[in-house]
Amino acid sequence: MIFLRDRRTAGFIEFGLIVTCVVLFVATGLLYVSQARQQALLTATVRSSGWVAYQGQLEFVKAEAAFSKVTPAPTAQGLGNLLLRMEILRSRLPLLYDSDEGRVLSDVVDTKGLTQPLETLLDQVIAEIETLDPDDGATTRRLEALHGRLLPLGEALQRILMESVAYNQEIFRRERAVAEAPEVVSLVLLFITGGCLVLLLLLQGRRDRVRLREIVDAKAAITAMEENLRAVIQAVPACVAVVDPDTGHATFINSNAAALVAATPDDAAWPGFVRAVRDAAGEPVGGCWGTLTMAYTRSTGDIVSLRGSICSVLWQQRPQQLIVLADTTRVRSAELQVMQAAKLATLGEMATAIAHELNQPLAVIKMAVANARRLLDPLPGGEGVMAKLERISAQVDRAKRITDQVRRYGRMPSEQLQPFSLRHAVDLAVGFIAEQYRAANIRLTIDANVPIEALVLGEQTMFEQVIVNLLINARDAFDAGRAGLCARQVTLALYREGDQLVVSVEDNAGGVAEDMLPRLFEPFATTKPTENGTGLGLSLARSVVRDMNGSISVQNVGGGARFLVRLPLLPSAEARDAA
Ligand code: ADP
């Protein structure tokens, strides 16, 4: 049914079928009424009109019989009987045109024209019969004459009867035709009406099926959309909850919200959380809430910073409130760490300045000690004082070394990259850290398989900071409590791999925590308490090494971590040019 594809056409066809059904229904009804009427009329006509004609004729025959009987031998009784017949006949004649049946008969034959003129004749005959005497010899002759005068009446009645019979036959024929015709016509009409109705039902059924399919498809689409929405909400890196605006009961929570508050919406923690969020959001202005910021204490006791908003949504066909909150704890702590880093930077500047200022008195002490030794040298018994002066001189040297390293560490890096000896830089960094390692009881092994002439291009001070940072991190790792019971050991190895120089710093302090590995070089990634760690060391190390066209990587090996710094070896010709 191609036309069904076009809804407008189908609508027109439906309308047409409905109109056809109504028209046919009315037509069938009218046909039925008219046929019923016609049949009733015909039946009445057939019965009555034929009957009236027949009655007239019958009475005439009876009158003739009475004539025949009384004429040969007239008697008073015979004449009386004849008179009675004649009067009955006389009374029947008006019925032929002046009764209901007679009027119907008049449509077929002019009964009035035929019989009315003869009524006068009949009256005269009746009047004359009344005057007849049975004993009179002329009565027979007179009766014969009167009988003869009635012949035209007999012919007229005969004609009326014949016409009536013919008419009745015609009526019978038409009645049969009418009786047969309606069946066919009604049947056809009924069939068409039924057909139209069936078509209508088919159309409706088809349309209902299409609508049903559309509804089912629409429902499936809505379900799929809702599923997608749920998946998106689940994937959103924020806490999302849908709550009832009246009861505050959570109807949906995503995994982040479950992790933050409680695994199921029915948990007792949820009402308190929703209340806290609403309190933080305040009253809506024009149905909208602004951005909210709040601190929430989790069941574990941790305090998290949250930032987000509430909005009204339609969720599963019901008006609900959507709470979306992002955990800003790390951002907050990063902010704190940046502040801490700024403080450290200031402290570093101060340390550099102090180291610089200490250089002067140290130089004076050193010179004074040297003078004192020179003055004491020729004097006898001054060995004990000399030894003390030597110790003072050695400690001054050590203090000088420390201030030098502090100054070097704090010196601002130059803009331009310079070739420098990798091994020399590593030695300086180790010197800076050696004292701390001794204090922490860590054995530092240097395995330098690179000549002192091997150069790399970069900013030496910054690179030293990279090595210092790796060594300090290794030291701190021992304090983190992940190390085993074996002796604390850090191995610093230098070796060449093709046209690259590699610095390897390996410890046995337990390795980097697995969750830290993928983001170890990101800024502010730290496992240390805020007062100790900034999480900037490795991030700075990576940017310094990158500036030197190198790379830095980490892996857990054995019982600890191994950091590898790879740097391109500067060919000697290039080194000369750069110098
Ligand atoms: P900070 O030292 O301030 O934390 P870093 O960027 O230098 O910042 O280090 C980041 C994190 O890397 C440390 O907090 C620590 O968890 C981890 N880490 C670095 N070196 C090691 C190491 N040798 N062993 C184990 N963990 C380490």
Quick check: 420 and 455 in contact, CB under 8 A?
yes
Mutate to test the pocket of ligand 1, among 538, 553, 554 (most ligand atoms within 8 A of CB): 538
Nearest ligand 1 atom, CA 536: 6
Nearest ligand 1 atom, CA 521: 6
- Report the length, in residues, of the chain: 579
Ligand 1: centre distance to CA 565 (Å): 15
- The structure's pTM equals 0.40
Residue 334 makes CB contacts below 8 A (sequence gap 6+) with 523, 524, 535
Token pair of 171 as six digits? 């009526």
**pLDDT tens digits for the chain (579 residues)?**
444 456 677 778 778 888 887 888 788 778 778 877 776 666 666 566 678 888 888 889 998 898 888 888 889 898 999 899 999 988 888 888 888 778 877 888 888 888 888 888 889 989 998 998 888 888 888 889 988 888 888 888 888 888 888 877 877 787 777 666 656 677 777 788 888 888 888 888 888 898 999 999 999 998 898 889 888 988 888 999 999 988 989 989 999 999 999 999 899 889 999 999 988 888 887 767 888 889 898 888 888 889 999 988 888 888 999 999 998 888 877 777 778 777 777 777 788 788 888 988 999 999 999 999 888 877 777 778 888 888 898 888 878 877 775 665 565 455 568 899 999 999 999 998 999 999 999 999 999 999 999 999 998 888 998 999 999 999 999 987 777 678 999 999 999 999 999 999 999 999 998 889 999 998 778 888 765 666 778 988 898 899 899 999 999 998 899 999 999 999 875 655 655
pLDDT at residue 405, rounded to an integer: 59
Mutate to test the pocket of ligand 1, among 471, 479, 526 (most ligand atoms within 8 A of CB): 526
Confirm or reject: Cβ of 512 under 6 Å from ligand 1: yes
pLDDT at residue 445, rounded to an integer: 96
Please provide the DSSP assignment of 146-201 as one string.
HHHHTHHHHHHHHHHHHHHHHHHHHHHHHHHHHHHHHHHHHHHHHHHHHHHHHHHH
Ligand 1: centre distance to CA 507 (Å): 12
396 to 64, 370, 386, 389, 390: CA distances (angstroms): 185, 11, 15, 10, 10
Please provide the DSSP assignment of 255-319 as one string.
HHHHHHT-SSTTSTHHHHHHHHHHHHH-S-BTTB---EEEEEE-TTS-EEEEEEEEEEEEETTEE
Ligand 1: centre distance to CA 473 (Å): 5
pLDDT at residue 2, rounded to an integer: 42
Confirm or reject: Cβ of 24 under 6 Å from ligand 1: no
Ligand 1: centre distance to CA 536 (Å): 9
Neighbours of 221 (CB within 10 A): 10
Nearest ligand 1 atom, CA 509: 24
**Which residue bears the tokens 């704890």?**
329
Cα dihedral angle (153, 157, 163, 167), rounded to 10 degrees? Answer: 150
Cα dihedral angle (188, 192, 193, 195), rounded to 10 degrees? Answer: 130
Residue 339 per-residue DSSP state = H
pLDDT at residue 220, rounded to an integer: 92
pLDDT at residue 45, rounded to an integer: 60
Detail the DSSP E strand segments found in 178-268: 239-243, 250-253
Domains and CATH numbers, the chain: 7-201 (1.20.120), 236-327 (3.30.450.20), 334-409 (1.10.287), 418-578 (3.30.565.10)
Cα–Cα distance measured from residue 223 to residue 445, given in angstroms and rounded to the nearest whole number? 65
Residue 527 makes CB contacts below 8 A (sequence gap 6+) with 480, 513, 516, 533
Residue 416 makes CB contacts below 8 A (sequence gap 6+) with none
pLDDT at residue 474, rounded to an integer: 95
Confirm or reject: Cβ of 393 under 6 Å from ligand 1: no
Mutate to test the pocket of ligand 1, among 336, 337, 476, 552 (most ligand atoms within 8 A of CB): 476
Ligand 1: centre distance to CA 418 (Å): 28
- Residue 63 sits at the vertex; the CA angle it makes with 59 and 68, to the nearest 5 degrees, is 145
The DSSP bridge pattern shows strands 443-448 and 318-327 to be unpaired
Ligand 1: centre distance to CA 337 (Å): 15
Q: Closest by alpha carbon to 140, among 85, 72, 77?
A: 72
**Collapsing DSSP states into helix, strand and coil, what is residue 99?**
coil
Cα–Cα distance measured from residue 72 to residue 440, given in angstroms and rounded to the nearest whole number? 180
Confirm or reject: Cβ of 473 under 6 Å from ligand 1: yes
Nearest ligand 1 atom, CA 539: 6
Phi and psi at 534, nearest 5°, equal -110, -20
Quick check: 253 and 265 in contact, CB under 8 A?
yes
Ligand 1: centre distance to CA 445 (Å): 20
pLDDT at residue 102, rounded to an integer: 81
Ligand 1: centre distance to CA 537 (Å): 8
Ligand 1: centre distance to CA 497 (Å): 26
Q: Which residues of 380-395 are buried (b: 16+ CB within 10 A; e: fewer)?
A: eeeeeeeeebeebbee
Confirm or reject: Cβ of 534 under 6 Å from ligand 1: yes
* Residue ID of nearest Cα to ligand 1 atom 14: 526
Nearest ligand 1 atom, CA 563: 23
pLDDT at residue 413, rounded to an integer: 54
Q: Distance from CA of residue 101 to its chain's centroid?
A: 82
The DSSP bridge pattern shows strands 250-253 and 418-421 to be unpaired
Detail the DSSP E strand segments found in 316-439: 318-327, 418-421
pLDDT at residue 377, rounded to an integer: 77
Ligand 1: centre distance to CA 540 (Å): 12
Token pair of 553 as six digits? 């990587």
Q: How many CA atoms lie within 13 A of 531 on its CB side?
A: 0
Detail the DSSP E strand segments found in 73-172: none
Cα–Cα distance measured from residue 294 to residue 291, given in angstroms and rounded to the nearest whole number? 10
